[in-house]
């Protein structure tokens, strides 16, 4: 099968995904019978171009790498904003990878609604729209007979969402807990080595793990959005990030870390969601965990999640939670899943 893709957002993730598409082109064809044609790229920084014949994506990466504009270097319909871009492109799938906004979900929310309403499948790594409007978007997708896939929104390519939806299908999940933010876990790990909070934050910023404005991470908005996404899948709830009890790591002192270590404990920023009677609750707070426990062994930028289930007990997953390659892998896995869903439905209708 051939799938035509339109990419919105050609930053770290959009380009990471494109690099994987180039490297794995033959593999995708031989293993999954999947041929991918990128028919448009739309980005605020690098410009916007649509060409239904397909774009040379090796050239697109080179153009962007050399700081040039896609609009100058490619033929096609140029200069469109994302909404018109979706209208004009003949894509089967829109890949949405613009930046996250946890208050409004924009601009991704508008892009995703537009694409789904136009009968296009959507794959996104943008957690804003999914944390704020999962119910609305999934019901829109259902009503239009298209798929909305978003496995890269939590733990990037490490399949936390796919494990929950597919791997644990049929299990009753009563609790989800995780270290879902690599930046804060890195800072806490560095503090164990003797750095103060400010020194550890600066170190994380220098290594590119933390933004210049680190609020989303250190005040725990990012893991709050992620636990909302997991909870709403696990418990069919309709939580929003503002419903999460939230305390970040800003106030943790070196003495707190040292004192915990002396008692065989580590301080970790743990996100939890659980069923409490008829309601679902969620929180992200620093917790002391035993050094030898599962979460106690998760250090540096690594992420981890635990699902408490009826049939399997506690199920654990650990892996990298950020990076262009990792999030690109999440998009690829979603694309392969979409391809197999479409192949199967073709088989069913041809019977
Ligand atoms: N990087 C990761 O490790 C990672 C992992 C998992 C999930 N994610 C999520 O994936 C998304 C993309 O992340 P990223 O790291 O690739 O961010 P990024 O490097 O900042 O790239 C986002 C790109 O989207 C462009 N953009 C913003 N608004 C746009 C619009 N309205 N129309 C077209 N283009 C627009 C930006 O242009 P300007 O720069 O000019 O604004 C930028 O080039 C985010 O939502 C992020 O939270 C990232």
Residue 351: the pLDDT is: 74
Residues 144 and 250 in one domain: no
Number of domains in the chain: 2
Nearest atom in ligand 1 to the alpha carbon of residue 323 is 3
Question: What is the average pLDDT across 63-75?
Answer: 96
- Show the domain range for 44: 2-157+325-349
User: Are the CB atoms for 40 and 21 separated by under 8 Å?
Assistant: no
Separation CA 250–CA 272 (nearest Å)? 19
Cα–ligand 1 centroid distance for 296 (angstroms): 31
42: Cβ below 6 Å to ligand 1? yes
| Rounded-to-integer distance, Cα 267 and Cα 295, Å | 10
Cβ of 12 below 6 Å from ligand 1: yes
Written as six digits, the tokens of 221 are: 């908005």
Q: Confirm whether pTM is higher than 0.85.
A: yes
Active site residue 258: no
Kindly indicate the confidence band of residue 350, based on its pLDDT and cuts at 50, 70 and 90. confident
Q: Are residues 40 and 181 in the same domain?
A: no
Residue-wise pLDDT for 88-97, tens only, equals: 999 999 999 9
Question: What is the distance between the alpha carbons of residues 241 and 67, in angstroms, rounded to a whole number?
Answer: 36
CA 108 – ligand 1 centroid, Å: 10
Q: How many helices (H) and strands (E) does the chain have?
A: 14, 13
Domain with residue 198: its CATH number is 3.30.360.10
Q: What is the pLDDT of residues 319-344, one digit of tens each?
A: 999 999 999 999 999 999 999 999 99
Q: Whose CA is closest to atom 19 on ligand 1?
A: 11
Write out the H or E segment, with its range, that includes residue 174: strand 173-179
Q: Looking at the structure, tell me whether residues 57 and 27 fall in a common domain.
A: yes
40 and 98 part of one domain: yes
Q: How far is the CA of 132 from the centre of ligand 1 (A)?
A: 18
Q: Which of 51, 59, 64, 129 is nearest to 90 (CA)?
A: 51
Same domain membership, residue 175 and residue 133: no
């Amino acid at each position: 099968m051939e799938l035509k893709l339109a990419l919105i957002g050609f930053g770290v993730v959009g380009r990471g995904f494109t690099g994987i598409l180039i490297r794995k082109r033959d593999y995708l064809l031989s293993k999954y019978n999947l041929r991918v044609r990128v028919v448009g790229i739309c980005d605020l920084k690098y410009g916007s171009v649509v060409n239904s014949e397909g774009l040379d994506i090796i050239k697109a990466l080179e153009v962007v790498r050399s700081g040039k504009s896609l609009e100058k270097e490619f033929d096609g319909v140029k200069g469109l904003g994302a909404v018109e871009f979706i209208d004009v492109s003949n894509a089967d799938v829109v890949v949405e990878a613009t930046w996250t906004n946890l208050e409004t979900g924009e601009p991704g929310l508008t892009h995703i609604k537009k694409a789904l309403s136009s009968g296009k499948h959507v794959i996104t790594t943008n957690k804003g729209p999914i944390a704020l409007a999962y119910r609305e978007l999934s019901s829109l997708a259902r009503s239009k007979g298209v798929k909305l896939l978003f496995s890269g929104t939590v733990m990037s390519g490490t399949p936390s969402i796919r494990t929950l939806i597919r791997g644990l299908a049929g299990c009753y999940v009563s609790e989800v807990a995780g270290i879902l933010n690599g930046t804060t876990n890195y800072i806490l790990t560095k503090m164990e080595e003797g750095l103060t909070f400010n020194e550890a934050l600066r170190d994380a910023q220098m290594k590119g793990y933390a933004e210049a404005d680190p609020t989303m991470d250190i005040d725990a908005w990012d893991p709050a959005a992620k636990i909302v996404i997991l909870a709403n899948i696990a418990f069919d709830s309709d939580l929003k990030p503002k419903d999460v009890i939230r305390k970040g790591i800003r106030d943790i002192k070196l003495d707190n870390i040292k004192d915990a270590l002396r008692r065989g404990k580590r301080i970790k920023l743990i996100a939890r969601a659980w069923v409490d009677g008829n309601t679902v609750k969620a929180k992200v707070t620093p917790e002391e965990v035993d050094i030898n426990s599962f979460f106690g062994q998760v250090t540096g930028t690594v992420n981890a999640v635990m699902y408490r289930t009826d049939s399997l007990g506690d199920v654990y997953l650990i892996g990298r939670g950020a990076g262009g390659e990792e999030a690109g892998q999440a998009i690829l896995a979603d694309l392969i899943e979409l391809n197999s869903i479409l192949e199967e439905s073709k088989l069913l209708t041809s019977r």
